[in-house]
Amino acid sequence: MIASFTTSDLTLSADKAYIKEFELFGTAKFTAYEFAPGILFELFMLLGFAETIFLFVIILRYYHKRYGTVLKPMPIVFSILLVAGGYDIFSALGLTNSIYMSEFAFMILLLTMAYRLTSNFIDAIDEVERLNLYLDTIVKARTRELEEKNNTLQMLSTTDPLTKLFNRRYLEDKLKKKVVQSERYGTPFSVILMDIDKFKSVNDNYGHDLGDQVLISISQTLLDNIRETDVAGRWGGEEFLILTPETDIVVCKTLAERLRIQIQNKSHASIDQITASFGIAQFKPDDSINSLIKRSDNRLYKAKDSGRNQVIAG
């Protein structure tokens, strides 16, 4: 038998303590003061031993796992629990005449745990917000980069690399849409087919580099003089096509004359005067894209056969 207890001088007075004598391991005898009735004395004593052993094992395992040694400073709360457990043993043995401290130590532990849990939760929320902000920044940057690349690809797929005007593929797509719109709503539109006069001689006499500069210069002249609703593009070689929405052949001819004069008056280094011929056709109900382009092309060749630097409409 590890411990035996005998009771003496029992009293139920509220201002007196219960006095108990107990024998430990059959040798040492101690006198203890029980501040609670019943068997709480034995429970608190056993609790004190259990607390001490349990907390020592926890602390030993915790620090061995985290730091590899038990020589590091122990957390304050664990120290309070350890001290409280030992203090309760002394109180149970009567070596101190005071109340048990375990309850207060556990209360401190719970408050500390609550604080740590709350602090960790707040830190976790802050970390999630930081990661969300970081990911949002990355997504926006990637989206912006993707949009820029898509715009670049779109421009490359619809733009002539030399003149920066729309290419033939884009012009054909716009013509298809205008044909559908005109057939459905009866809105007029016309096309201007333009060809630079004697451009082959420019390349032969001055070289292709200077010929390219002429193409670029005339392309800029077109952009500077067409309306915002008009669409100008390079049809092929030295041929250009201008799509004029909501425009009949009379107004379209006026626009072509203005372009002809601007090109004629534009100077080019080391090159004699550059001129262009124009053929104009207005879309008809029985037209297709091919027939429309064919009629404007016929007017263009008629302008060239008539001496070039002319506008022929029909």
In the prediction, which pLDDT does 191 show? 97
Instruction: Assess contact for 48 and 102: CB atoms under 8 A.
Output: yes
Instruction: Assess contact for 153 and 241: CB atoms under 8 A.
Output: no
In the prediction, which pLDDT does 253 show? 95
CA–CA separation, 53 and 49 (whole Å): 6
Would you mind telling me the total number of residues written for the chain in this entry?
314
The DSSP call for residue 266 is: -
In the prediction, which pLDDT does 121 show? 74
Indicate the residue type of 120.
N
Q: How far apart are the first and last CA of the chain?
A: 126
CA–CA separation, 29 and 69 (whole Å): 38
Over 166-227, what HEC string results? ECHHHHHHHHHHHHHHHHHHCCCEEEEEEEECCHHHHHHHHCHHHHHHHHHHHHHHHHHHCC
CA–CA separation, 275 and 154 (whole Å): 32
Domains within the chain, CATH numbers bracketed: 3-114 (no CATH), 168-313 (3.30.70.270)
Catalytic residues: 238
CA–CA separation, 141 and 203 (whole Å): 46
Instruction: Assess contact for 194 and 241: CB atoms under 8 A.
Output: yes
DSSP 3-state of 47:
helix
Dihedral-angle region of residue 198 (phi above 0 means left; psi in -120 to 50 means alpha; beta otherwise): left
CA–CA separation, 188 and 280 (whole Å): 13
In the prediction, which pLDDT does 20 show? 55
In the prediction, which pLDDT does 196 show? 96
In the prediction, which pLDDT does 5 show? 40
Regions of the chain where pLDDT drops below 70: 1-120
Residue 157 tokens read as 């797929």
In the prediction, which pLDDT does 272 show? 78
Rounded-to-10 torsion of CA 79, 85, 89, 90: 40
In the prediction, which pLDDT does 224 show? 94
Residue 141 tokens read as 């940057």
In the prediction, which pLDDT does 168 show? 94
Look-up: residue for tokens 């429970």?
43
